[in-house]
Structure 1
């Protein structure tokens, strides 16, 4: 992922706060020799204090042998993306059709060292940690070894622990454009008011201090 200086996070808290509200991404794992990488969509729970993300996968998932061969992986999270038509970005002194279309988006990539969790009690703890995040109001039984309803299912999964070793983040929201063009884009996003347009507009204005 190319990150220009004007798209880089203003500080670590910017990407950390953004990531707190996200819990679904794609895990990229090196494939066997001669094969492309494996990419696994998955829910995850990220803990900034511990510097790790956790998840779980079915035991037959082909990622496990690949992870054993090379535990260095990448967890990619992308959101708040919109398409920006060319005329919105056109220079003020030129034809609108000369504007270059682009994409706005926020992205965080967590480089991690992966490890499997196979101990039944540790898997139950990991699952309960995820459930506290996804179902904070309860509504589901806790996972416990040998107890219904999930105890018998523990053998069919493996827990996944991802120790974060490096973070790369990008907030691509017209950071290099003039204030005049940024104002135009912000106005057009408000007028279009499509999916994610409002949050993209908020990113643009926030990153220039408004």
Structure 2
């Protein structure tokens, strides 16, 4: 992922962005020679202070063979993306894509013992289903213990974090704010989220208080065919 100096996100920025409910990403492992990478969409639990990411996947998943051959992986999270037409951006009228993306370069450890898998699942349950603290996974105990044989746990030790917030920070602040207004007028797909990130970055540049509403805003539907950028 190319990160320009004006697009780079700092640690406090990417931590806050992910903590706002962004816990689903794309895990990439190196495939065998002559093949592309193995890609797995998955929920995950980030423990940024400990520098680790926890998740689990089904035992038949093809990623396990890839991880045993090479434990170096990347977990990528991308959100708040929108297409900006060239007519919005002044001369020479070059269109672009806005997006936020965080990539974790990690070393993977496969967890196969029942106690270790249960520990990962219980931490995930506490994160994703906090309204049900009574739901626990205990090896050998019903209802979930017998299901542990059908999955494996995965612990990712984070080696590097790369964060990019691509929202035209290289343009004059006034032009950036004008584009935020155009996103508000169009209000399609993830435009509200992209606008919130653009305004937040704009406020950081100006030294103004960061707008309070920077969390992801849920659109009616996600657009298809968003261009790469």
* Aligned CA-pair RMSD: 1.3
Q: Is the 8 A contact 1:141 1:149 kept in 2?
A: no
Mapping 1:150-189, distance limit 5 Å: 150-189=144-183
Partner SS state of residue 121, structure 2: helix
CA contact (8 A) 1:112 1:165 kept: yes
Q: Deviations over 1:79-105 (max 9, x none)?
A: 0101111101013xxxxxx41111100
Match of 1:19 in 2: 18
Q: What's 2:65 paired with? A: 65
2:225: which partner in 1? Answer: none
Match of 1:145 among 112, 116, 139: 139
Aligned residues between the structures: 203
Measure the CA separation in 1 of the matches of 2:84 and 2:145. 49
Normalization by structure 2: what TM-score?
0.85
List gaps (5 residues or longer) in structure 2. Answer: 209-229
Corresponding residue for 2:190?
Answer: 196
Deviations 1:108-137 (A, max 9, x none): 000000011111011111101001111011
* Alpha-carbon distance, 1:192 to partner: 1.1
Equivalent residue, structure 1, for 2:226:
none
Q: Is the 8 A contact 2:83 2:97 kept in 1?
A: yes
TM-score, with structure 1 as normaliser: 0.93
SS in 2 for 1:15: helix
Look up the SS of the partner of 2:22 in the other structure.
coil
> What is aligned with 1:53?
53
Q: Deviations over 1:58-83 (max 9, x none)?
A: 11111111101100000000001011
- Cα distance in structure 2, aligned partners of 1:139 and 1:88: 49
Higher Cα radius of gyration: 1
Counterpart CA distance in 2 for 1:24 and 1:12 is 19
Aligned mates of 1:140, 1:31 — CA distance in 2: 40
Cα distance in 2, alignment partners of residues 127 and 56 from structure 1: 7
Rounded to whole Å, the distance in 2 between the matches of 1:174 and 1:85 is: 13
The CA deviation at 1:140 is 6.7
Q: Distance in 2 between matches of 1:58 and 1:25?
A: 16
